[in-house]
A = this chain, B = another copy of it.
Amino acid sequence: MNNPLHILVSNDDGIHAPGIAALVEVAMEFGEVTVVAPDSPQSGMGHAISIGKPLRLTKEKLPFDVQAFAASGTPADCVKLATGVLMDKTPDLILSGINHGYNSSVSSIYSGTLSAAREGAIQSVPSVGFSLGNFQHGADMNPSKAVVRAILKEVTTNKLKAGQLLNVNIPYLPEDEIKGIKVVRQAMGRWVEEFDERVDPYGRKYYWLTGNFDLQDEGTDTDVHALTEGYVSVTPMTHDLTALSEIADLSKLDFKL
């Protein structure tokens, strides 16, 4: 390769998670890889950034021939530090994951994995977030590696546009049981909270956030539906949050100052 792709890899489970090792391994087949990932788990961090708290970068030795740094901040911070401090030139592609657990439907809002990829997209870099439907540390990453390879083969040939963001979710199935890869929309749904209330040794209440996913979408063209059927879901995402369809109606309101 005369002009290898420069690929930045991050995640939200931390630099030593098995998921990022799987992603780095496949990414190295496609270009020169730099890893900047959180020094501790950052699940559920949404698109948080560190304001008013200094950030640190620590060189890490990974079992791959790549430049790797652990950052003290959030996934979005990692991408900002990578492009703002560490890398000489803007990466050609930013990958995040492989997350331990789905980021389908509304989970994409809470996801640290997606926020690293979204931060890449905001910086006009094509970016892909990968998430696997299994929370276990010891989950078999081999079928996911095949999926990542299939996606990267296609998106590094038929290039993504500047700032395009893909949210890829992978069902936890043996490779020969994955039915294919579908481009689908985000399913509407929400997490219904069930707080686990406890009392600490000093008599004070505290709460653990738990919840169940409530699918509010019967579409067959959604990420949740594709995953349930055994397909990999690929959802293009935007960071323009405007609800364009509501503008006309709201403009009829008569706001009087």
Complex CA gap A221/B235 in Å reads: 28
User: Residues of B contacting A61 with CB < 8 Å?
Assistant: none
**Known contacts A186-B242, A193-B83; is A55 also within 8 Å of B206 by CB?**
yes
Chain B residue nearest to A43 in the complex (CB): B51
Complex CA gap A209/B55 in Å reads: 8
Comparing A1-9, A14-22, A29-37, A74-82, the segment that makes contact with chain B is A74-82
User: Residues of B contacting A206 with CB < 8 Å?
Assistant: 54-56
Complex CA gap A204/B146 in Å reads: 40
**Known contacts A183-B247, A190-B123, A236-B250; is A48 also within 8 Å of B54 by CB?**
no
Chain A residues 87 to 136 lying within 8 A of chain B, measured CB to CB, are 106, 108-110, 115, 118, 122-124
What DSSP secondary structure best describes chain A's contact surface? mixed
A interface size (C-beta, 8 A): 86
Interface membership of chain A positions 191-205, coded 1 if the CB is closer than 8 angstroms to chain B and 0 otherwise: 001110110000011
Complex CA gap A85/B197 in Å reads: 9
Distance in angstroms from A119 CB to nearest chain B CB is 9
**Known contacts A85-B195, A257-B181; is A207 also within 8 Å of B55 by CB?**
yes
Interface membership of chain A positions 155-173, coded 1 if the CB is closer than 8 angstroms to chain B and 0 otherwise: 1001000001111000000
Chain B residue nearest to A45 in the complex (CB): B48
User: Residues of B contacting A56 with CB < 8 Å?
Assistant: 204-207
User: Residues of B contacting A174 with CB < 8 Å?
Assistant: none
Complex CA gap A75/B205 in Å reads: 20
Distance in angstroms from A39 CB to nearest chain B CB is 13
Complex CA gap A234/B246 in Å reads: 11
Distance in angstroms from A99 CB to nearest chain B CB is 13
**Known contacts A122-B190, A146-B257, A236-B250; is A49 also within 8 Å of B54 by CB?**
no
3 interchain residue pairs of minimum CB distance: A46-B47, A84-B193, A236-B246
In the assembled complex, 10 residue pairs joining A and B whose CB atoms fall closer than 8 Å, in A order, are A41-B52, A45-B48, A47-B110, A55-B207, A106-B239, A108-B241, A150-B256, A185-B242, A232-B257, A236-B243
